């Protein structure tokens, strides 16, 4: 951050090599701008004139008006605190990526959901030949038809887990198992009856899609009436988790760590607390996530090689729209446990550097040279002789 200018606004005083009137006489270079009255090495220059005014009053001359009271000064105390500097970078608010919905059936699409719909376990993802394709939760994709007699596998356990959670295995299964049993067949038949599917006790490949959790539908790639073939992604999907993606160039951007707290500034100007939850390469195109701008943070250089995933602490307050441009405040420097004063307390000295006008307990004031450190908002880090927490200094009005 650039330091203050050579003058402190509104202060109007000149400090000379003889010190401020009534002080111990600091020997620092003087501030660049007068501050309303002149202090010289001989003290108050108007003492003799004051005596003359008194004589005129005694001999009956016109009484001189009372001298105006010295204007009050504004003061602040030196504090010990932590200063944080930040930078703003661009991000995009949307939803976290999801594993894609991939069709495995051949026929004709007869139902495609519109964008922005939430589809949970047990609900219909789309329909082929007027029969539903159903979402079930699981981390392992379905890779085979499931029927009595198949070998044990994690896909059978995932199916059992969903049949139990959806209520179709009541009285049949109490815990998921990798083994297909007669109870599994009976639970599948109950589910098929409820879903409007032919009741066969077995599941064709592609009739159930296992995804890690509920999804939110995005832009469609096909329309009802178009032919369906294995390998197609009928529409984009995301999770329902709100995130902000922030492109970064590691060479010029500040160092960021996972778990670090940041601030997201919405287009309305409202600030939202958030946390960095992932640091990695950009998401592949077509994943349905919020788009990542080309230029990276820290300048208009090459495309980002790293993307931050930032999760808002209160996602509901960020709305429901996707692809929303936002700003993210990233920490660039932290100075912990340092002495700080308002920036307006600094005096630029004609010989270079800065000083503070310190107010003694007696009310006397003296000029003290200081070294400056981090500038953070209205505060600046300072250090110098006889500067400590609690020291009173004059600030510009």
Query: Do residues 376 and 1 touch, judged by C-beta distance below 8 A?
Result: yes
pLDDT digits (tens, 9 = 90+) for 95-120: 999 999 999 999 999 999 999 999 99
Domain-embedded: residue 68: no
Beta strand ranges found along the chain (DSSP E): 74-77, 79-97, 107-111, 118-119, 124-128, 131-137, 208-211, 215-220, 227-228, 235-248, 261-265, 271-280, 306-312, 324-342, 347-348, 354-359, 365-376, 379-383, 392-395
Under the banding of pLDDT at 50, 70 and 90, the label for residue 250 is confident
User: What is the distance between the alpha carbons of residues 106 and 272, in angstroms, rounded to a whole number?
Assistant: 46
Q: Is residue 18 part of a domain?
A: no
Pair (169, 223) in one structural domain: yes
Q: Within this chain, do residues 253 and 322 fall inside the same structural domain, yes or no?
A: yes
Residues 208 and 289 in one domain: no
Q: Are 372 and 382 in contact (CB under 8 A)?
A: yes
Q: At which of 191, 210, 232 does a domain end?
A: 232
Residues 6+ apart with CB under 8 A from 114: 217, 220
- For the ranges 87-101, 272-286, 328-342, the lowest mean pLDDT is seen at 272-286
Claim to verify: residue 128 and residue 196 sit in the same structural domain: yes
* Torsion sign, CA atoms 18, 21, 25, 31: negative
Which of 280, 303, 334 terminates a domain? The answer is: 334
Q: What is the mean pLDDT of the chain?
A: 83
State which residues form the domain around 273: 87-97+240-334
Tell me, what's the pLDDT at 283? 63
pLDDT at 62: 57
Q: What is the mean pLDDT of residues 313-337?
A: 94
* Residues 207 and 251 both lie in one domain: no
**Residue that wins the pLDDT comparison between 279 and 3:** 279
User: What's the average model confidence in pLDDT over 254-264?
Assistant: 93
Give the DSSP letter of residue 207: S
Q: Domain for residue 270, yes or no?
A: yes
The answer, yes or no, to whether residue 19 has pLDDT greater than 70, is: no
- Tell whether 214 and 136 lie within a shared domain: yes
| 128, 91: one domain | no
- Quick check: is 275 in a domain? yes
pLDDT score, position 60 = 44
In terms of domains, do 290 and 206 share one?
A: no
Let me know the angle formed at the C-alpha of 374 by 251 and 276, rounded to the nearest 5 degrees: 45
Does pLDDT of 122 surpass 50? yes
Q: Are 113 and 220 contained in the same domain?
A: yes
The CATH number assigned to the domain holding 322 equals 2.40.30.170
Domains: count for the chain: 2
pLDDT of residue 386: 85
Residues 6 or more apart whose Cβ sits within 8 Å of residue 67: none
**Does 215 fall in a domain?**
yes
226/138 same-domain check: yes
Residue 199 forms part of a structural domain: yes
Q: What pLDDT digit, counting tens, does each position of 145-181 carry?
A: 999 999 999 999 999 999 999 999 999 999 999 999 9
Long-range contacts: 187-193, Cβ < 8 Å, 24+?
Answer: 187/160, 187/163, 188/146, 188/159, 188/163, 190/163, 191/163, 191/166
* pLDDT tens-digit map of 32-72: 444 433 333 333 333 333 333 333 333 444 565 666 665 67
Q: Are residues 218 and 281 in the same domain?
A: no
Secondary structure of residue 365 in the 3-state scheme: strand
Q: How much is the CA Rg of the chain, to the nearest whole Å? A: 36
Of 334, 353, 370, the last residue of a domain is: 334
Say if residue 160 is in the same domain as residue 276.
Answer: no
Give the strands of the sheet with 131-137, arranged side by side.
208-211, 131-137, 124-128, 107-111, 227-228
7 assigned to some structural domain: no
Asked whether residue 132 is assigned to any structural domain, the reply reads yes
């Amino acid at each position: 951050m650039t330091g203050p200018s050579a003058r402190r606004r509104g202060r109007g005083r000149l400090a000379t090599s003889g010190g401020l009137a009534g002080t111990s006489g600091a020997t620092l270079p003087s501030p660049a701008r007068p501050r309303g009255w002149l202090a010289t090495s001989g003290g108050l220059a108007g003492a003799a004139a004051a005596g003359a005014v008194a004589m005129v009053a005694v001999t009956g001359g016109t009484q001189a008006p009372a001298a105006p009271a010295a204007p009050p000064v504004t003061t602040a105390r030196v504090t010990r605190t932590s200063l944080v500097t930040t930078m703003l970078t661009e991000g995009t608010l949307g939803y976290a990526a999801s594993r894609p919905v991939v069709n495995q059936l051949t026929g004709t699409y007869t139902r495609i959901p519109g964008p922005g719909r939430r589809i949970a376990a047990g609900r219909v993802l789309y329909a082929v030949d007027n029969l539903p394709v159903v979402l079930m939760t699981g981390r392992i994709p379905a890779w085979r038809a499931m029927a009595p007699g198949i070998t044990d596998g994690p896909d059978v356990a995932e199916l059992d887990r969903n049949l139990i959670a959806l209520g179709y295995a009541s009285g049949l299964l109490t815990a998921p198992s990798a083994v297909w049993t007669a109870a599994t067949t009976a639970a599948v038949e109950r589910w098929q009856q409820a879903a409007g599917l032919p009741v066969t006790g077995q599941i064709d490949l592609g009739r159930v899609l296992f995804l890690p959790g509920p999804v939110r539908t995005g832009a469609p790639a096909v329309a009802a009436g178009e032919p369906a073939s294995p390998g197609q992604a009928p529409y984009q999907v995301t999770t329902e988790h709100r995130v902000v993606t922030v492109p970064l160039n590691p060479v010029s951007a500040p160092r960021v760590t996972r778990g670090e707290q940041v601030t997201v500034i919405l287009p309305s100007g409202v600030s939202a607390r958030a946390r960095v939850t992932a640091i990695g390469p950009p998401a592949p195109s077509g994943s349905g996530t919020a788009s990542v701008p080309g230029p990276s943070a820290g300048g208009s250089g090459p495309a980002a090689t790293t993307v931050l995933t930032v999760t808002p602490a209160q996602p509901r307050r960020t709305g429901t729209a996707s692809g929303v441009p936002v700003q993210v405040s990233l920490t660039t420097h932290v100075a912990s446990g340092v002495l700080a004063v308002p920036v307006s307390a600094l005096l630029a000295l004609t010989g270079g550097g800065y000083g503070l006008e310190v107010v003694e307990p007696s009310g006397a004031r003296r000029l003290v040279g200081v070294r400056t450190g981090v500038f953070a908002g209205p505060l600046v880090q300072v250090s110098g002789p006889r500067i400590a927490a609690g020291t009173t200094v004059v600030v510009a009005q």
